[in-house]
Amino acid sequence: MDESNSKLTPVSSLGEFGLIDKLASNIMIKNSSTLKGIGDDAAVIKPDKDKLTVISKDLLLEGVHFDVVYSPLRHLGYKTAVVNFSDIAAMNGKPKQLLIGLGVGARYSVEAIEEIYGGIKTACEVYGVDLIGGDTTSSASGLVISATVIGEVDKDKIVYRNGANPNDLICVSGDLGGAYMGLLILEREKKAFQADPNVQPDLSDHDYILQRQLKPEARTTVVDLLAKENIVPTSMIDVSDGLASDLKHLCKESDTGCVLSEEKIPIDQSTFDTAKEFNIVPTVAALNGGEDYELLFTISQNDYEKVKKIDGVSVIGYMTDPTEGERLITSDNTSVELKAQGWDALKRKD
């Protein structure tokens, strides 16, 4: 063990039960539906009789989904929670409970695990979610984070991927491509550092896109704003693989085609500038860069006036008959086939 780590607490000094006790302390239950959190064979929830329960899980592995070289552990915990909350938002729901499973190698100290949980607990506070399960075990290799989120949706407001109809408008929240540009900056600085450890990373002027990559947010506020305007989207997904790939999911599940307008894709100025720096067409970054966690949804044309009132939502195209295919209208007004080169966790490592 490195000298600099000599003041850190080895996990073995607490053992599994000691660690659970330590991590579970200070957890205040916020939701009335949470009857029992950490500390029994299972957590217990009393579902509201007018709500549906939505559940999603994610498995994040070191070296595949994240790189601890440039992901601060606290941000990693925050992002793990938020990515799961985003899946619940994509069903038009609100996240309520979270369970975490952590596998840690021998080189992780109790303090490192507390950093990860610190980020998770912060995300739970921000989003009003109860942490109801936390299991930590040793790992023979890298860091493993498994998260399960439980949310609720009004019975008549659940939104699937398969409800879009031809002529429905395609909408997206926020802006796209930023998380991918943040990743490129981090990868570039990591390489520079590996080539010459005396080089300090140059992360200046990239705050926004770095935050998009390292500490993204889930668009649960959009769920609230849609409810306020009385809009129930006809289909919805969160943008995790990339706009093109995720829109194609909606088309496939809904049996529609689509027309996406390149010039309407929302792109932040710093995403635009960084793409240029890397010689990437900014809209290509927005179409194919993943992990933006914005909500991509379709609405009936009748809801157009209402959706215009929601700040930060852009109408970027419309659904069509499936026979018309999936089309992208480029900025020079040419219609081309919409192609996805989205992030695929399994193909990526070949």
Which of residues 153 and 184 has its CB atom nearest to a second copy in the complex? 153
Local structure of residue 327 (DSSP, 8 states): E
8-state DSSP, 200: P
CB of 331 to a second copy, least distance (A): 29
CA–CA distance, 220 with 152 (Å, rounded to integer): 12
137 vs 335, which CB is nearer to a second copy?
Answer: 137
Query: Which whole-number Å values give the CA distances from 137 to 19, 107, 110, 140, 146, in the listed order?
Result: 10, 13, 12, 10, 11
Q: Output the smallest distance, CB 239 to a second copy, in A.
A: 11
Of residues 91 and 338, the one with the C-beta less far from a second copy: 91
Cβ of residue 34: shortest distance to a second copy, in angstroms? 11
Q: How many CB atoms lie within 10 A of CB 128?
A: 13
**Least distance to a second copy from the beta carbon of 236, Å?**
8
Q: How far is the CB of 296 from a second copy (least distance, A)?
A: 11
> Minimum CB separation from a second copy for residue 270, in Å?
28
Give which of 187, 180, 191 is closest to 213, Cα–Cα: 180
Residue 50, SS3 per DSSP: coil
- Nearest approach, Cβ of 335 to a second copy (angstroms)? 26
By C-beta, is 60 or 280 nearer to a second copy?
60
Please report how close the Cβ of residue 171 comes to a second copy at its closest, in angstroms: 16
Name every residue whose Cβ is closer than 8 Å to that of residue 343 and which is 6 or more positions away in sequence. Answer: 240, 241, 242, 245, 290, 291
- The label of the residue with tokens 């010689």 reads 279
CA distance 344 to 348: 6
**H or E element in which residue 53 lies:** strand 51-61
- Shorter beta-carbon distance to a second copy: residue 324 or 344: 344
Pick the closer one to a second copy by CB: 18 or 201: 18
CA dihedral 214, 215, 216, 218 (to 10 degrees): 150
Contact criterion met (CB below 8 Å) for 150 and 51: no
CB-wise, 43 or 275, nearer to a second copy?
Answer: 43
CB 164 within 8 A of CB 256: yes
Residue (72 or 142) nearer to a second copy, CB: 142
**Segment holding 130, helix H or strand E:** strand 130-138
Are 68 and 76 spatial neighbours (Cβ–Cβ below 8 Å)?
yes
